[in-house]
Structure 1
């Protein structure tokens, strides 16, 4: 089947925002505008990514599928956990050492993605409305357990699972209803409205959007669940609004949609080096534009055939790109 351009476009736009969000993070305390932009992006970029991941999880079920999934997600996780440990030590990062079950930085997504597929074995047998209610309830209640945190990415697994489950239950026809002109108009106003509200609201703790800390750590032990419910609602609405504006037609960057995992796993080499060496300084709007261009360049570099050829054996466990290049070179000779 031909790939649907809409989903590839969405994945490219979202992975760009992942890189951009990570690259501007060190500057959020020095600028209200950057702080607002950072929070605004984080209200939807991972929930939307997770929803799309759930949308493509329709084939989950038998033991062979789980085994393939383990090879696809857990083996790269283990390799990159070791690689990033060595890299962090090399660049002088203080928190360079972490156990195999305490994911380095962005590697939590691989661990959680595997766990979401496992949870889906149970939840797909439950009626959609009931299952969604249970998933949200677990996401709300898990914040009261202080021991659940970064280890095994348990907190994020349960907090973000409702978005994965929602993606699983959605079909393409339902998703495309978001493309209606009237909804796009409402979405545009909502997106601008949320940005404005964040800008003028009291300072927001960004950790609420990361899903990795307990309510005790977030300083709202009693009212943590209502606060997270507000985050859930905002993220769900923001995700729908953003998805409504994703183009359906093929664009110049559409083909990069199949390579976003490479960008996700490898962009940390750039970002952590920039942070460790305080590579950039942001004092003007043009600096922010420059960081967005650098984010796009990182995306393009990590999506290139050269990078894929090098890392494909590690990330996908195969070397089709190398073989293809080798065959083409032999034919040329």
Structure 2
């Protein structure tokens, strides 16, 4: 039996998936704008680490069972393959030339998260076996950039982002409850203000490329000691920012909760939308002084549209084709009355963690 969903976690995912979409829209805005660049850096310090931490928490119940492994394939691997083919087709249509790397082994753009999440979930029974895995994951994150980056299956990112997932795996519900206290909210505001301040001139001590966590120290132009110190500081900032976002997340159910329920649908769908906007140059006409604000408005519209039930239902044939096929077959077996009922959209964030 599926456990009851926590609106607080869905609300957090709604905030974070909106930040993901906003970050990607900001990246394709034309021109060079100080506000856009600053906002982009501040968002990237927090949004994926927080998303990964929540994903780790929701993966605590994953087991190497047939049901959980099947769910992993249908909700992560199959959509990864489908959207890789879709995005690769768009790339070919726009660029007109093929890539040299095997497309399924080299995650296309934002699809790295699905590849990394699959690896993390597969390893989660080992990663949660002992609390010693938390400091070990930090060591892996700090030392893995001493080797050349590995694009295959987003392995480099999976290793460098690993601590957030492992911390989520070991987080207890009673610990997270402390984030809802008023004092935690005050500290959360201060943490986000501090992140805004330290990212005001990120290039003076790092660069935006550091935030992607997919390069070696050598490629970033840093020696090992400097690289470890810089990554350590970023890890602390990202963890503090992640907890800050959770502390400021509303706990009550609202209209925005549905966006969190459909966070994976929005994540997958926005890759096609943002790539189409970039390829078509749809945002190039935005006035320089208004580009950032307009980009944020576009981001909100994209999130709202992709999370809307009339869009979610047909899009499910791409985001969860196996589940959509099973529901259609069940509806046909049960007759017109069952088929007339709306099909519930997929909740891959719950499976198999909340199975």
Give the alignment's TM-score, normalised by structure 2.
0.85
Aligned positions of 1:13-24 closer than 5 A: 13-24=15-26
The separation in 1 between residues aligned to 2:175 and 2:30, in whole angstroms, is: 36
- 1:114 is the counterpart of 2:115: no
Unaligned runs of 5+ in 2: 342-355
Aligned to 1:229: 232
Aligned to 2:263: 260
Aligned to 1:169: 170
Residue 250 of structure 1 deviates from its aligned partner by: 1.1
* Equivalent of residue 79 in structure 2, options 72, 76, 80: 76
Residue 46 of structure 1 deviates from its aligned partner by: 0.5
- 1:50 is the counterpart of 2:52: yes
Q: Secondary structure of the residue that 1:256 maps to in structure 2? A: helix
Whose RCO is larger (CA < 8 A, sep 6+)? 2
Contact 2:258 2:307 in 1 (8 A): no
Q: Secondary structure of the residue that 1:214 maps to in structure 2? A: coil
Q: For residues 78-122 of structure 1, what are the alpha-carbon distances to aligned partners after superposition, in whole Å with 9 as ceiling and x for unaligned?
A: 222112111111233767664120000011111111110122222
Aligned to 1:238: 241
The structure-2 alpha-carbon separation of the partners of 1:201 and 1:42, relative to structure 1 and needing over 3 Å to count, comes to closer
Residue 283 of structure 1 deviates from its aligned partner by: 4.7
Moved more, 235-244 or 314-323: 314-323
Unaligned runs of 5+ in 1: none
Contact 1:15 1:263 in 2 (8 A): yes
- 1:287 is the counterpart of 2:291: yes
Aligned to 1:133: 135
Give the alignment's TM-score, normalised by structure 1.
0.90
Aligned to 2:323: 318
Q: For residues 53-101 of structure 1, what are the alpha-carbon distances to aligned partners after superposition, in whole Å with 9 as ceiling and x for unaligned?
A: 1111122223312233123211221222112111111233767664120
The separation in 2 between residues aligned to 1:219 and 1:182, in whole angstroms, is: 40
Contact 1:28 1:34 in 2 (8 A): no
The structure-2 alpha-carbon separation of the partners of 1:155 and 1:84, relative to structure 1 and needing over 3 Å to count, comes to same
Aligned to 2:220: 218
Contact 2:217 2:223 in 1 (8 A): yes
Residue 29 of structure 1 deviates from its aligned partner by: 6.7
The structure-2 alpha-carbon separation of the partners of 1:221 and 1:257, relative to structure 1 and needing over 3 Å to count, comes to same
The separation in 2 between residues aligned to 1:91 and 1:321, in whole angstroms, is: 35
Moved more, 89-98 or 5-14: 89-98
Q: For residues 8-34 of structure 1, what are the alpha-carbon distances to aligned partners after superposition, in whole Å with 9 as ceiling and x for unaligned?
A: 111111111101000001348712221
Moved more, 19-28 or 106-115: 19-28
Aligned to 1:152: 153
Residue 296 of structure 1 deviates from its aligned partner by: 1.2
Q: For residues 223-277 of structure 1, what are the alpha-carbon distances to aligned partners after superposition, in whole Å with 9 as ceiling and x for unaligned?
A: 2122111111110111111111000011122122221111111111121122223
Residue 328 of structure 1 deviates from its aligned partner by: 7.1
Residue 216 of structure 1 deviates from its aligned partner by: 1.1
CA RMSD in angstroms, aligned pairs only: 2.4
Aligned to 1:190: 191
Moved more, 154-163 or 191-200: 191-200
Q: Matched residue pairs, number?
A: 328
Q: Secondary structure of the residue that 1:247 maps to in structure 2? A: coil
The structure-2 alpha-carbon separation of the partners of 1:102 and 1:92, relative to structure 1 and needing over 3 Å to count, comes to same
Residue 209 of structure 1 deviates from its aligned partner by: 1.0
The separation in 1 between residues aligned to 2:97 and 2:49, in whole angstroms, is: 30
- 1:67 is the counterpart of 2:66: no
